[in-house]
Structure 1
Amino acid sequence: MPYTLVNPINLTEEIKKSRFIVNAAPVTTAEQATNFINQVSDLNATHNCWAWKIGQQYRFNDDGEPTSTAGRPILSAIEGQDCDQIVVVVTRYFGGIKLGTGGLMRAYGGAASHCLQQGELIELIARITLQFHCYYSEWPIIENRLKELGALIEQQDFDAEGVKVAIGITQNKSQLLQKTLCDITRGRVIIEL
């Protein structure tokens, strides 16, 4: 199972007189990742290299370092820590000593890896989204059952007759939810994927 960070984290390392500042954060969209990169990047730094991974989507950037010596190792560090929904930015202030291709890869990948190891990680749980509509009188009971099942209420829309709800629930609990809703509503509620 993949993991993500609970909170943003940063770490500073010095490698052969170059200072590497690592900033990492949990993200759920490419837009959030881009905003984080723009927020923590220092235009006065020598390089702001980054990588992010969200499910099957990923991007990385070497920001002027030799090809695949910064962004790719950062992405490898994310994958190596079994992380997902994460962005990592490594800002480098050049210290006067060239590290070479292998040294750069170890420095960027190692700094990113050390940062993720120090962060508090939580397991990402895969959920499916289901929708249903129920009467107002049924909603308090259903809402309590949803909490018991560990479902997340993603959206609620109230209308003249009741509540239209979109929830996220683990696949293995979806059948139990179906049975619970059938019992509470006497078979009237139909769940939609």
Structure 2
Amino acid sequence: MTSSSLPSTIAAPVEHTLEIKRSVFLTHLAPARTVEEADAVIASIRKLRWDARHHCTALIVGTHADRQRSSDDGEPAGTAGVPMLEVLRRREMTDVVAVVSRWFGGVLLGAGGLVRAYGNAVAGALDEAAIVHRALRTHVSMDVPHADAGRVLAFLHQWVGTHDAVLDSPAYGQAATLSLWVPQDQVDALNADLAAHTGGAIATEAGEIRVVDVPAR
């Protein structure tokens, strides 16, 4: 996976319920930046939903989705955790944990039915989640006189919305320090647009490059 197509994550926990032949599959999908955070989520769901027969899990963490794990939790091998994990992989997700709690409805679903049920349970939760994309961005900052800060900030708010950039909160000292995270190939465009908007009165400084969250627009 290239730096321009890093895996995404979710903005907040989400839950989704699926019922098949009286079996209930309740998915809890949550952000988790480490395996330890994911394990804490799993433990809390096990405690909260103690009466479910199974708590099957799948997790992926790491900027490049480099740590992955799943568990069938008593379901036939390969019918729960793996299909759950495969959905997360197909959707190119990371820093996320999925827990599907199942209450058995008395009707056997068979191996194929379980694979479809657990996969669809996670897919349904992802469909309802707010997706946060990630990408490499360059930090660009500028010091703006307080008298001009509101006008320049309004311009930047509009600019980031059309250039896949992310605006930081302003910092106020002797001047207002405004900063944003910009695609590398858009830094020159930012400077040109800013110069046109301010008559060349504001100088920018490009800094570090790092992976940032870019909310879907």
Q: Provide the TM-score with structure 1 as the length reference.
A: 0.70
Does the CA contact (< 8 Å) of 1:12 and 1:20 recur in 2?
A: yes
User: C-alpha offsets along residues 57-85 of structure 1, whole Å, 9 cap, x if unaligned?
Assistant: 25333152344432221121233345566
- Residue 45 of structure 1 is aligned with which of 52, 77, 91? 52
Distance in structure 2 (CA, Å) of the matches to 1:116 and 1:29: 17
2:114 pairs with 1:110 = no
- Classify 1:146/1:32 alpha carbon distance in 2 versus 1 (closer, same or farther; 3 Å): farther
User: C-alpha offsets along residues 145-193 of structure 1, whole Å, 9 cap, x if unaligned?
Assistant: 211212432343333x323344233445332212244564546432213
Equivalent position SS for 1:192: strand
- Classify 1:192/1:4 alpha carbon distance in 2 versus 1 (closer, same or farther; 3 Å): closer
Alignment of 1:113-132 (within 5 A): 113-117=123-127, 119=128, 124=133, 126=135, 128-132=137-141
Gaps of 5+ in 2: 209-217
Could you tell me the percent identity over the aligned residues?
24
1:90 is displaced (CA, Å) by: 0.8
Does the CA contact (< 8 Å) of 1:133 and 1:162 recur in 2?
A: no
The total of aligned residue pairs comes to: 189
Q: Determine the structure 2 residue equivalent to 1:75.
A: 85
Alignment of 1:177-188 (within 5 A): 177-182=190-195, 184=198, 186=201, 188=203
Does the CA contact (< 8 Å) of 1:3 and 1:121 recur in 2?
A: no
Q: Determine the structure 2 residue equivalent to 1:153.
A: 167
Q: Provide the TM-score with structure 2 as the length reference.
A: 0.64
2:61 pairs with 1:56 = no
Does the CA contact (< 8 Å) of 2:140 and 2:181 recur in 1?
A: no
Does the CA contact (< 8 Å) of 1:21 and 1:91 recur in 2?
A: yes
